[in-house]
Amino acid sequence: MSTRLPVVGDDPVFSAEQPSSPRVLERAQYTVEVVSDSGEGAQSCGQILGTVSAKMGNGVWTVEIIPAEVQPPPRNPAGASGNRVRIGSGPVTNWGDRTDLIVAFNEQALLARHRLDALEPGAVILIESMWQDHDDEGIRAEWSAAMEELGAAGYRIIHVPAHEQCLALTENPYLGKNMFMLGILTELFDRDTALIGAQIRHRFRKKDESVAERSIDLLELGIAWARENLDFRVSVPPVPGDRDMVVMNGNQAVALGAVAAGMELAAMYPITPATSVSHQLGEMFERFGGIVHQAEDEIAAAGVAIGASYAGKTAFTITSGPGLALKTEFLGLAVMTETPLVLVDVQRGGPSTGLPTKVEQSDLLAAIFGQPGDAPHVVLAPATIEECFHVMVTARRIAETFRALVIVLSDANLATGVQPFPRPELDQAWIASAPDQSPVPEGKAPYAWDEQTGLSQRFIPGQPGGMFTVTGLAHDERSKVAYTSDINQWSSAMRSRKIAVLGQTLRPPSLNGDDAGDLLIVGWGSTKGAIEEAVARARDEGLSVSSLHLTFLSPLEPGLAEIFSRFQKVMTVEINYSDEPDGPFVTHQNRRRGQLSWLLRAQTLVDVDCWTRVLGEPLRPGAILEVIRSNCGAGGER
């Protein structure tokens, strides 16, 4: 079979006629996707491209495209698996709007992305061409239909005979085609081949050396094919800074942050998309000391973490939405016994099993209010991958200082996205020291609450003079079961006061944009990059819009009502569900709103509007920009 390079569309830039003098597209940022059936390695391909680009000094944000099932049927649009990699000359803070170039291993995965409006009009498609001549008539028909649909959309389609090419080096191109495709991208983006090779070796370090060697052979084959057959290149010049950078995803950052904070035990039960935190910790704890405890279920994991913390260790637990629901009773125990505990909730779509692999921000209210009884505690939300690292230090410190439960709300977007950030300069002060074991002064009670602050000294088992009976029952200062109602009133006030005291130490949030104006967008968590990009684009259009991003959600950062008063309209932008204001049966009063919107309305008495989506993907800055355009100057629900 001869190599064919039909180019659908007539863009002069992408003419395949002059491979010897490729045209170079200079771009400040460019977005690439690699998609395949699950298990064909598109994710590895995209991850290596993203990691190497970051190491070369590009700004990068990657998003995993993950099917809901572990092994979906092949050649099915619902089973598309892969990566989006947004590469920039400067910092990249979100996944952008649409893809400029997509590498697809079959036309069905490609169709899925097209139908989800993931591709830029006129995007370049590099498609594995083996299916057009497939023995199965049905597959050939599917191919033809897909090409017709994609061709009609105006994309530039380049056929890549990846399977045929790879047969020269491997009997089973399904295991290795991704490296051939990576070779094409390496050539197209002029990536450092030494870094690519090193990354391949790192990825396959636990396999036989021959796997990495064959992968590199396939990579070189892809590079050679691209040199010979593609007449364009994309230049997104890296701008290396003067600071050392590290490249990782949010779950790796959480794990590294836990180690930097001196945490000694992570108790968990496997759950997507949180599990990889424990994988990372498992490797690191072997070197630095510490335990990853995989419990028999989510409830037990919470219990182990609480028990370890009670015994004086620095412990945390990791989960996602369904696990948070299961841990609820134990979280109440941590609050009642004032046992320091950090819980990381990597949010996914819900309720129930929901969208295990997709992002949502739907756990906010459950995280703050989800415990029966009154269970005041702290909720923090990192907004970037860098913050996923640093939040662990702060969470641990707050948990121990206030003898409190601290819930850290990450999400699937942060968990699997890869971004470079400045290498943290570790500080000895971050690390949890051993608990103070000096003898307890005679007569001191285990809950000797300071009336001003609600704080009390934490006793550790074995501490001289510190023996007491710990109980989840309402109790007095000496941990004796409360038989009179006034004790419960008093102890409840003390547990609540601690959170108020923490709130008193918080600074008002800073604004992105002007201090006053037509519209204020309020966000939290992983949407920060997309919101701020949208606000920047809107401001370039002359719109009067600012944004602020909350990281302390319980207690809330102070001064919000005063800030809100300076804007004509305030609205939250979130990845959770809200009714459309004009939906059937929806009134201003009964409308179900975005979760932060609900919280802000309750706390500030400001009629905060919202715009939310639960599409199973991160928000696109372009979509937020449309919302800004339609709300700026509109007044609205203030």
Applying CB under 8 A, which residues contact another protein? 261, 380, 382, 387, 390-391, 393-394, 397-398, 401-402, 424, 427-430, 433-439, 441, 453, 455, 457, 464, 501-502, 504-507, 509-510, 551-552, 557
Sign of CA dihedral 149, 152, 154, 157: positive
How distant, in Å, are the alpha carbons of 158, 182, 391 from that of 377? 55, 47, 16
| Minimum distance from residue 429 beta carbon to another protein (Å) | 2
| Minimum distance from residue 447 beta carbon to another protein (Å) | 16
Identify which of residues 391 and 628 has a Cβ nearer to another protein in the complex: 391
Identify which of residues 197 and 509 has a Cβ nearer to another protein in the complex: 509
| Minimum distance from residue 452 beta carbon to another protein (Å) | 8
| Minimum distance from residue 401 beta carbon to another protein (Å) | 6
Across 596-614, b (16+ Cβ under 10 Å) vs e yields: bbbbbbeebebbbbbbbbb
Q: What are the residues facing 159 on neighbouring strands? A: 127
Report the candidate in 415, 399, 403, 417 with the shortest Cα–Cα distance to residue 321: 415
Cβ proximity of 127 and 144 under 8 Å: no
Identify which of residues 206 and 507 has a Cβ nearer to another protein in the complex: 507
Identify which of residues 7 and 448 has a Cβ nearer to another protein in the complex: 448
Identify which of residues 161 and 262 has a Cβ nearer to another protein in the complex: 262
| Minimum distance from residue 62 beta carbon to another protein (Å) | 23
Identify which of residues 125 and 367 has a Cβ nearer to another protein in the complex: 367
Q: How many residues does the structure list for the chain?
A: 638
| Minimum distance from residue 8 beta carbon to another protein (Å) | 49
Structure tokens at 510: 């800073």
| Minimum distance from residue 212 beta carbon to another protein (Å) | 31
Structure tokens at 633: 């100057």
Cβ proximity of 342 and 301 under 8 Å: no
Q: Read off φ and ψ for residue 551, nearest 5 degrees.
A: -120, -30
Half-sphere exposure of 632 (CA within 13 A, CB side): 19
Q: What are the residues facing 522 on neighbouring strands? A: 548, 572
Identify which of residues 307 and 558 has a Cβ nearer to another protein in the complex: 558
| Minimum distance from residue 288 beta carbon to another protein (Å) | 13
Rounded to whole angstroms, how far apart are CA atoms 581 and 588? 7
Rounded to whole angstroms, how far apart are CA atoms 348 and 7? 40
Identify which of residues 21 and 452 has a Cβ nearer to another protein in the complex: 452
Identify which of residues 116 and 245 has a Cβ nearer to another protein in the complex: 245
Cβ proximity of 516 and 566 under 8 Å: yes
Rounded to whole angstroms, how far apart are CA atoms 412 and 526? 9
| Minimum distance from residue 259 beta carbon to another protein (Å) | 13
Amino acid at 157: I
Cβ proximity of 560 and 608 under 8 Å: no
Identify which of residues 71 and 437 has a Cβ nearer to another protein in the complex: 437
DSSP string, 302-360: HHHHHHHHHTT--EEEEE-HHHHHHTHHHHHHHHHHT--EEEEEEE-B-STT-BTTS--
| Minimum distance from residue 540 beta carbon to another protein (Å) | 26
